[in-house]
Amino acid sequence: MAVHLHEEDLPAGVLAPGPVAVDTETMGLITPRDRLCVVQISDGQGDEHLVRFRVGSDYAAPNLRAVLGDPERLKLYHFARFDLAAIEHYLGTTAAPVFCTKIASKLTRTYTDRHGLKDIVRELLGKEISKQQQSSDWGAAELSEPQREYAASDVRYLHAMRDIFVERLAREGRTELAQACFDFLPHRARLDLSGWPDHDIFSHEAA
């Protein structure tokens, strides 16, 4: 298992076919303001790839965009809504189809309100991950080893978690409901980017 750091694009041919786990690191939580700094991606075979974008990047990244935009390749996320918005805004790509482990957790782990990645990995896989670098400076000139490890851990376990959640969603009769939510996520991300991040447009209440 290794963590590979790349500048501005993913090298061609480094990922095996099939689903890929994806995550992003940005300068903050307001997508149009807080630039995309890192995209993490893993094919589930043991290595994680970090693609770093520097200040002033044009985000061309043809190899990465081809993988993310491939309609035949499933993308696995934890809280896909945020990552989809960042990828669409900066890379100009709709990174679907989608499986979101946070939504799957909320639909199946109704016995708890703890749906963070750390909590789910601990319960489902018996692994511990550190979130200490979550609020660090991802725009720094160099990424530290703790930052690299943190970024890699965000995609390391998504394939295994997806397999468990597929079984649980089927067991609870919520597979179709989950799929409908996953299919809507790119549109939810566009609503966020278009100025409706907090308002529920399906609510009866006035804006």
pLDDT 10s digits, 187-206: 999 999 999 998 888 888 76
Residue 130 predicted with pLDDT over 80 = no
- pLDDT tens for 32-75 read 999 999 999 999 999 999 999 999 999 999 999 999 999 999 99
**In the CATH hierarchy, which top-level class contains the domain 3-193?**
alpha beta
Q: 19 vs 22, 67, 138, CA distance in Å?
A: 10, 10, 26
Q: Token pair of 194, please?
A: 């278009």
The whole-chain average pLDDT of the chain stands at: 95
CA 70/CA 86 separation, integer angstroms: 17
| CB burial of residue 122 (10 Å; 0-12, 13-18, 19+) | middle
124-136 as b/e, with b when 16 or more CB fall inside 10 Å? beeeebeeebeee
Question: What pTM was estimated for this model as a whole?
Answer: 0.95
CA 60/CA 90 separation, integer angstroms: 9
CA 99/CA 175 separation, integer angstroms: 11
Type and span of the H or E element at 188: helix 175-193
Nearest to 37 by CA among 163, 164, 151: 151
Nearest to 127 by CA among 158, 104, 98, 151: 158
Neighbours of 171 (CB within 10 A): 10
Do residues 62 and 9 make contact, with C-beta atoms less than 8 angstroms apart?
yes
Question: Between the CA atoms of 16, 119, 95 and 38, what dihedral angle is there, to the nearest 10 degrees?
Answer: -80
The SS3 call for residue 50 is: strand
Determine phi and psi for 155, rounding to 5 degrees. Answer: -115, -5
